[in-house]
């Protein structure tokens, strides 16, 4: 197995990371992607309280697209939290 991770966006105290996992088989010419996930990490200070994370600036078109997509996923997560709290 091999995993690749890339930062897709940072916000004030959190960041999203895209992770892809590939399986290798010597009988196959190419590795096979077996998992993909978007993980959100929150920066914590020594007391366990949220703290600022370093800002990340996308430089390439691909990075800019990942950032836009991350912002859309964040908005959906926030809407789901609001929806869950109103029921």
Question: Would you call 67 helix, strand, or coil by DSSP?
Answer: helix
The pLDDT assigned to 10 comes to: 98
Span 18-51, pLDDT tens digits: 999 999 998 989 999 999 999 999 999 999 999 9
The pLDDT assigned to 87 comes to: 78
Question: Would you call 32 helix, strand, or coil by DSSP?
Answer: strand
Q: Is it the case that residue 68 has pLDDT exceeding 90? A: yes
| Region of residue 59 (left: phi > 0; alpha: psi -120 to 50; beta: else) | alpha
Q: pLDDT-based confidence at 78, cuts 50/70/90?
A: very high
Residue whose C-alpha is closest to residue 18's, from 51, 56, 46: 56
């Amino acid at each position: 197995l091999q995993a690749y991770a890339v930062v897709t966006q940072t916000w004030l105290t959190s960041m999203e990371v895209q992770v892809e996992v590939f399986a290798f088989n010597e009988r196959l010419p190419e590795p096979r992607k077996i998992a993909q996930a978007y993980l959100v990490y929150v920066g914590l200070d020594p007391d366990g309280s949220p703290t600022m994370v370093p800002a990340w600036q996308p430089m390439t078109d691909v990075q800019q697209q990942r950032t836009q997509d991350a912002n859309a996923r964040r908005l959906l997560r926030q809407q789901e939290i609001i929806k869950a709290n109103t029921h």
